[in-house]
A = this chain, B = another copy of it.
Amino acid sequence: MNFDAVPAHAPLELEHFLPYRLSILSNTVSQGIAAEYEERFQLSMTEWRVMTILARFPEVSAREVVERTAMDKVAVSRAVSRLVDAGRVDRGTHDGDKRRSVLKLSEAGWAIHDEVAPLARAHERELLAKLSAEEREHLDRILDKLLAI
């Protein structure tokens, strides 16, 4: 005999559902950091990500930025245009392949980078402060595994 008046629909429990928890955490963290530099420097998150790539790998093409950020190529194209317009990035053309752009931070771009980078790092430290040293190591290893293709 079935005493359940309503069939068991087995609803998802979002608060224990890993993809959902990751989404909440990621949004909270990223928006927390972005909120600081967006207003202060009129800098969007995609623009900032492009800048971090150009800081580490000067003279790359837009395509390499796409590869290194996992961002959409349209998003990168637009972010780069805005950065060039704002005088934060210099865009040249590759010798020998006129399709390719050659991107690097301008002086102004470096100046902003050098202000925002410590700010981002401080946020990360604050987040990691909630964990023990052991947990930080675990998280690092776990993310490595989950992010492996």
Does any Cβ of B come within 8 Å of A106's Cβ?
no
Main secondary structure of the interface of A (DSSP, over half): helix
Tell me, rounded to whole Å, the shortest Cβ–Cβ distance linking A92 to chain B: 19
Does any Cβ of B come within 8 Å of A84's Cβ?
no
Contact B146 A19 (CB under 8 A): no
- The segment out of A75-83, A94-102, A123-131 that lies at the interface is A123-131
**Assembly stoichiometry (copies):** 2
Chain B residues with CB below 8 A from A27, complex form: 26, 70
Instruction: Point out the residue from B52, B120, B127 that lies within 8 Å of A146, measured CB to CB.
Output: B127
Per the bound structure, the CA–CA distance linking A135 and B141 in Å amounts to 9
B-contacting residues, A89-130, CB 8 Å: 110, 113-114, 117-118, 120-121, 123-124, 127-128, 130
Q: What mask results when residues 125 to 149 of chain A are scored 1 for a CB within 8 Å of chain B, else 0?
A: 0011011000100110111011110
Given A23-B30, A26-B26, decide whether A14 and B145 contact each other with a Cβ distance below 8 A. Answer: no
B-contacting residues, A43-73, CB 8 Å: 49, 52-53, 55-56, 68-70
Does any Cβ of B come within 8 Å of A86's Cβ?
no
Does any Cβ of B come within 8 Å of A13's Cβ?
yes
Instruction: Point out the residue from B18, B70, B127, B130 that lies within 8 Å of A127, measured CB to CB.
Output: B18
| In the complex, residue of chain B having the shortest beta-carbon distance to the beta carbon of A116 | B12
Tell me, rounded to whole Å, the shortest Cβ–Cβ distance linking A68 to chain B: 7
| In the complex, residue of chain B having the shortest beta-carbon distance to the beta carbon of A48 | B12
Contact A24 B70 (CB under 8 A): yes
